[in-house]
Amino acid sequence: MVEQPPDHLTRHLESMAPHRAILRAVECKLMGTVPFDGHRPVLDIGCGDGHFASIAYTEPIDVGIDVRDEELREARRRGPGVYVDLAIASATRLPFADASFATVISNCVIEHIEDNETVLAEIGRVLRPGGTFATTLPSEHFAPMLLGSTILRRLRLQRLSSAYGRFFNRISYHHHIHDPDEWQRRFEAAGLTVVEHQYYFSAAAHRAFDASHYLGVPNLIARKLTGRWVLHPAQMKPFDRWLRKYYNEPLPQPTGAYQFVRCVKHDGR
């Protein structure tokens, strides 16, 4: 009997806002390809509340770090089946010895940290020679592929289109939006060689992602009032039907609003 692939989208829609659910569901498919067996210990930088790891992986991650204590408390409640150990720590000053990890993962985190060079240097430091670093990042196409940017550009309102993209990057706390060549240069400077790069999230998927922010306002209200994004799974069925085709997009995409990168640490560093 052929084993069916996990349905990351449904699981995300059961517990979070639609814009975040579709993006994280696709990222589960990509980050879930990073092997842990024989490549331990594993460090997760910016683990948050552990929700992503609980869906993306069937094996526990050895160590997760984050700067937010309230997020780590939630991650601990998920139990040792998600993270064996958790710690408050900054990615710019990792509290681990050199060459402590065989694998480092970080899902859509390092673009939010202003001191990007130090973060990458720290990742290179704690990785063993030949170890893997895998991450997801917004691409250089993030802003122009947004629905708002696209509509304004088609109306020939180029300045407003560019302003919308800058606004979205600002509220998303994106300090680093780079193309693959620039990321490769930055990784190489930290002793990391890019061995895999692929775009994901097509222009159509990204427009749906943008629209979902507005259509998901009831989820935001529910979160503010009850602490839960989703009050009942049935309310997310229309989103599932709408977003399913973007979740099922083939990977890699020819171009995309996001990019998945896998690096290997140089030997001898």
**What was the pLDDT predicted at 159?**
97
Q: At 12, phi and psi to the nearest 5?
A: -70, -40
Per-residue confidence at 75, pLDDT binned at 50, 70, 90?
very high
> Percentage of residues in the chain with pLDDT exceeding 70?
98
Q: What is the mean pLDDT of residues 20-33?
A: 97
Q: How far apart are CA 257 and CA 252, in angstroms?
A: 12
Predicted pLDDT at 4: 64
Taking 90 as the threshold, does the pLDDT of residue 5 lie above it? Answer: no
Token pair belonging to 262: 């896998």
Please state the pTM of the whole predicted model.
0.94
CB 119 within 8 A of CB 181: no
Q: What is the pLDDT of residues 147-184, one digit of tens each?
A: 999 999 999 999 999 999 999 999 999 999 999 999 99
- Taking the alpha carbons at both ends of the chain, their separation in whole angstroms is 46
* Closest among 202, 137, 139 to 165, alpha carbons compared: 139
Choose the weakest-confidence range: 46-50, 89-93, 108-112, 265-269: 265-269
Residues 120, 116: Cα–Cα separation, whole Å:
6
Residue type, 152: L
The residue extents of the domains of the chain are 1-31+203-248, 36-140+178-196+256-269, 142-177
Q: Assess whether pLDDT exceeds 60 at residue 269.
A: no
Q: Are strands 127-138 and 258-265 parallel, antiparallel or unpaired?
A: antiparallel
Say which CATH topology domain 36-140+178-196+256-269 has. Answer: Rossmann fold (3.40.50)
